[in-house]
Structure 1
Amino acid sequence: MRNTPFVKRSLLVLTGTLAATAALAGCGGGGTDTPAAGGSAAPGGSAAAPVTIKVQAWYTEPQGNWNATVAAFNKTHPNIKVVYEGLSEKGDSQEGMKKLDLLAASGDQMDVIMYSAAPDYAQRVGAGMLEPLDEYMKKDGFDPKAEFKIDTSVNGKYYALPGKMIEWLVLLNKDKLDQAKLPVPTEWTWNDYAEYAKKLTSGEGANKVYGSYFHTWKDYAQLALSNDPELPFFVKEDGTPNVDNPKYRFSLELRNKMENVDKSSVPYYDVVSQKMGYRDVFYAGKTAMLLTGNWMVGELALNGKFNTVFAPYPKFDAKDPNGYTSINADFVGVAASSKNKQAAYEFVKWYTTEGMLEQGMFFSGWKKADLNKNVEAILKSGKPELAKFIDKDSLLATLKVNKATKLIVPPTFSLQQEKELLSQVELYLTGKQDLEKTIQTTTKKLNDIKTSSK
């Protein structure tokens, strides 16, 4: 899709409000080039000079090891020259996403682009920023369902493939666990997690150490909902609310009990008013447990300060299968405005398979990736003196029981719904409304957003 004035205006709206509209959704999904017309860069082809493409994302060089990754691709693909362009000095995915929107609106060169969450990805599909990949993969004999652990399709079409795969787990400060004489959990429920948090909480005032920490993201509002194999999200794929659900209710009640009754998890008000960063709280030893994504393994290898062990994502009921966890991914796609789509596709396919292993920084969503080698590469990418702080046995044991729930790629208007959901969660956790009103109001407001978006 070319950058017409309408598209440019739409993308600027995305940048300013991060809210999709029905007009955006009507913009379509891709460019006019056929798979063979994106440049003469396919393996086995010939070209007078290499095609130069840009890979644009938010990662800094320390976060992404891009110099070595790009060099590995360029060495094996002489017809394509890849240049990585970092869009955030701090490695902030939201900042990077806004800059991508501005680049698209201004008509600058874009070839390979990335998004860090399904709602952001879905919204950009609706804005026409991503090229459909189905014809490229069909021509290539590449079956994404057979290759990857998660399905990144939107309405039956693929606009991106999964880069790093995010599964959730629990980080525990081993020293504090030993002080409380608690074993490393290998299978536990949310109620068990809450009991651990109480036993791991100690001290008062400025010296208080909490057993648990929950951040402000939606993931921490749908804790037990994320255990559901088929519908682990606050809305269904069509935007229908999924909050009047026993697992969602349980999630809010659990947080309220831990934060406001047991005082075993950092209170929501403190998290917001003090602008807490989850990494800082854990590294400073102010929480004994941190429920988070597996990207923290690589960060521990760079910044670890004490012995850290790992436990699986807690489950809703003791009878449930162990290991179902919330998942996400980096969504790596071809810009619809790219003049070298075939070359960009070649990089996307390589990076999301072999390239992730070359990069050695993140967990791969490729089915053929060797988990043990993946872990070794991530640990090796850090500082050698910090490897001793990471308990590899509990990490591997946790990763091996992890089971991916279905990835819900929600409608383009889901970011509006998420914002409303979080505002209602805040009212509940700060005591301004009860659970029933929270559920009822959230359901109504999410439905209103869905209706108005038709």
Structure 2
Amino acid sequence: MKKKLWSSVVASGLVLSVVAGCSSAPSNNSASTPAATGGQATSASKEQVNLRLYAFDGRDTTYNWTPTIAAFEKANPGIKVELVGLSEKGDTQEATKKLDLAAASGETMDIVMFSDPASYAQRVNLGMAAPIDEFIAKDGNYKEEEEYKVDTHLNGKVYALPGKFNPWYVLLNKDHLDEAGLKVPTDWTWDDFADYAKKLTKGEGTSKRYGTYFHGPQNGGWLEYLKLAMENQPQDSDILKADGTSNLDSPNFKKTLELRVKMEKEDKSAVPYADMISQKLAYRTQFFNQSASMLAIGSWMNTELGGTEKVPLNFNVAVAPFPKNNASDPIGYTPVTTDFVSVAASSKHKEEAYKFVRWYTTEGQLVQGKNVPSWSKVKSEDLTKIIDTILSATKNPEKVDKASLIKTLQVSKASQMVPAASYQAEVYKALNEEFEKLIFGKQDIDTTVKNSQDRTNQIIAANKK
């Protein structure tokens, strides 16, 4: 990689936005820290290979790195892994800045981890990650999109394998469901979701209990809530298509707007957007304080489902899959966050680096035992053990309907990934503004769709000049 390229990246202050609330908090280690010792090379004639792993989160409390790296080294004598943490404050933006600075200064890199699709896609385009298709071909020639629940292809090549698997799902107050005579859904549509929300809404005024709470969009972020009916599609599930053009002519964009307006204005079953903004509401407290009976959110919440010291759990919780548009649609497509684990383009030990990447994203995830893996070959009993471990760290794991959680995680899968465009944040901000005009009654749905399309196309055109 050329220093000039990375110097320009750093100088321009390239810092990609990370989905708020994602559980990928960076490291407590601001400098390189030696990995745990493991097996030694078995042959004196074979030179030991030292790999440097740049992780945005280097803490054992969240990623269990010490035993994980030790297990890899034991299984692969002759390869040592040095962990490099990128932030002391749990700040993914700081981690991204430090990663860019390390690349610009020519530090030795062998394995790099990205915490979100935007960071991954943009740094692939800048040449930080190497394609690993040739190693996959030698390693059984498996299909990445079948071997894992997250498809990491970019421009027809694989530049990373996915680690953890955090799909979005719907949290349910099971006590409220029982009170309303409703079953825990195992396969449902957005129409069903709206019907549940209406039946779960209760009371008036300040003590009113809403059927659901939508935590966005806000400040150009949390756009997941502005594309609900798009995100459950196998392809073209985002605002922009893979070629960078607008996807707002999709009828599912309008369907999302219709759903949001119906639930807030007609059914009055969703917490008002104005309240979310003016009162700076938090999704955790809305759900755990029982102000809202359902919450569509990412499964980084697994570690909090049984309640914590800060946010206790005083009711029973169940989990349902992300809703579909039509009953005949395939179940399980949902937004997903993951770790993108790549071989650094500048590595002099790409084969050994790939060996770690492949091991870490398969067997290593089971050793780590901190997250649900993206590896599709995880056995049910292994998944159950991981969930048991995660829930055991909460205050009241017995209040969580574990069967519904496991079943939801088993059916969940990611849509085809759409590479992030450099102007994506600008588009998101414009769409947020148009949504606010709609939800505050300043324009109708058709006008909102048209204005959103026009502004998005203008931004795209301006960035092509």
Residue 241 of structure 2 corresponds to residue 236 of structure 1: yes
User: Given that residues 119 and 412 in structure 1 are in contact (C-alpha distance below 8 angstroms), is that contact kept between their aligned partners in structure 2?
Assistant: no
SS of residue paired to 2:433: helix
Aligned equivalent of 1:153: 153
Deviates most, 177-186 or 163-172: 177-186
What are the Cα deviations for residues 281-333 of structure 1, in whole angstroms up to 9, with x where unaligned? Answer: 32333321111223322332573624211112112123434433333432111
Q: Which one of 434, 438, 441 corresponds to residue 428 of structure 1?
A: 438
- Residue number among 241, 247, 264 corresponding to 2:252 in the alignment: 247
Distance 1:85 1:293 in 2: 27
Residue number among 372, 381, 384 corresponding to 1:375 in the alignment: 384
1:174 and 2:179 are equivalent in the alignment = no
Task: Label 1:76 to 1:196 Cα distance change in 2 as closer, same or farther (>3 A).
Answer: same
Does structure 1 residue 408 correspond to structure 2 residue 418? yes
> What does 1:268-283 align with in structure 2 at a 5 Å threshold?
268-283=273-288
Q: In 1, are the aligned partners of 2:210 and 2:271 still within 8 Å (CA)?
A: yes
Equivalent position of 2:460 in the other structure:
450
Secondary structure of 2:269's match?
A: coil
1:317 to 305, 321, 326: 326
Q: Aligned to 1:290, what secondary structure does the other structure show?
A: strand
Instruction: Give the whole-Å Cα distance in 2 for the aligned partners of 1:262 and 1:182.
Output: 18
From 331, 348, 354, the equivalent of 2:340 is 331
Deviation at 1:388, TM superposition (A): 0.9
Q: Does 1:266 find its partner at 2:271?
A: yes
CA distance in 1, matches of 2:44, 2:196: 59
Q: What's the CA shift for 1:8?
A: 1.2
Structure with bigger helix share is: 1
Q: Which residue in 1 is equivalent to 2:27? A: none
Please give the residue correspondences for 1:350-369 in structure 2 after superposition, counting only pairs within 5 Å.
350-369=359-378
Task: State the SS of the aligned residue for 1:226.
Answer: coil
C-alpha spacing 1:47/1:361, structure 2 compared with 1 (3 Å): same
Cα pair distance change 1:42/1:440, threshold 3 Å: farther
What SS does the aligned partner of 1:120 have? helix
Structure 2: tracts of 5 or more residues without a match: 19-39, 217-221
Contact kept in structure 2, 1:60 and 1:89, CA below 8 Å: no
Q: Which secondary structure does the structure 2 equivalent of 1:350 belong to?
A: helix
Report if aligned partners of 1:189, 1:317 keep a CA contact under 8 Å in 2: yes
Query: Do residues 391 (structure 1) and 401 (structure 2) align?
Result: yes
Superposed counterparts of 1:91-102, under 5 Å: 91-102=90-101
SS of alignment partner, residue 257 of structure 1: helix
- Tell me how large the CA RMSD over aligned residues is: 3.1
Output the CA distance in 1 between the equivalents of 2:133 and 2:105.
27
Unpaired stretches in structure 1, ≥5 consecutive residues: 20-40
User: How far did residue 403 of structure 1 move?
Assistant: 4.9
> What SS does the aligned partner of 1:288 have?
strand
Residue number in structure 1 paired with 2:25: none
Higher relative contact order (CA 8 A, sep 6+): 1
Equivalent of residue 438 in structure 1, options 444, 448, 452 = 448
Indicate if the aligned counterparts of 1:334 and 1:344 stay in contact, CA closer than 8 A: yes
For residues 85-106 of structure 1, give each alpha carbon's deviation from its aligned partner in whole angstroms, at most 9, with x where no partner exists: 4444564544433443343344
Q: Does 1:209 align with 2:209?
A: yes
CA-CA distance at 1:108 after TM superposition: 4.1
Residue 375 of structure 1: how far off its partner (Å): 3.1
CA distance change for structure 1 residues 229 and 73 in 2, over 3 Å: closer, same or farther? same
Q: Find the aligned partners of 2:250 and 2:135 in 1 and give their Cα distance.
A: 40
Percent identical among aligned pairs is: 45
CA distance in 2, matches of 1:436, 1:43: 69
Mapping for residues 10-89 of structure 1, pairs under 5 Å? 10-16=9-15, 47-58=46-57, 60-89=59-88
Secondary structure (helix, strand or coil) at the match of 1:71 reads helix
CA distance in 2, matches of 1:93, 1:16: 10
Q: What TM-score do the two structures reach when normalised by structure 2?
A: 0.82
1:163 is matched with which residue?
163
Distance 1:251 1:226, change over 3 A: same
Shift of 1:390: 1.8
TM-score when scaled to structure 1? 0.84
Q: Any idea what SS the aligned residue of 1:292 has?
A: strand
